[in-house]
Structure 1
Amino acid sequence: MKQETLYKINQLEEKYCHGCLLKKLNRDRGSHTSAHKFCISQCSVGLKIRSHGNQLQ
């Protein structure tokens, strides 16, 4: 189960997060922290990754 969840997270990140223009824009306008906050609270992919991450606890 843990391995499968980690695989899903990695797949989402590779497919959608690498090269994400919104992530880059948020980093350029603010900081790494503000970009991360955006990703985990407003981005649909980030919310899905966060949901999977909560399953690991």
Structure 2
Amino acid sequence: MLKTIGETKSITQTKSELSKIIKSVNKTGEPVFILNHNNPEAVIISNKEYSSEVRT
């Protein structure tokens, strides 16, 4: 089940750290929430988590 709170990154941080964020998400299974002017815009989740969500 997808968690509703977790690590957050700004869009600017995400652009410069995308590879690192993806590795972290895959390693920990924890989502990373992407913020635009402190407003949630997107969530990065692992493929495993996505596949689990799609099946339910």
TM-score with structure 1 setting the length: 0.31
- Bigger RCO of structures 1 and 2 (CA < 8 A, at least 6 apart): 1
**Larger fraction in strand:** 2
**Larger fraction in helix:** 1
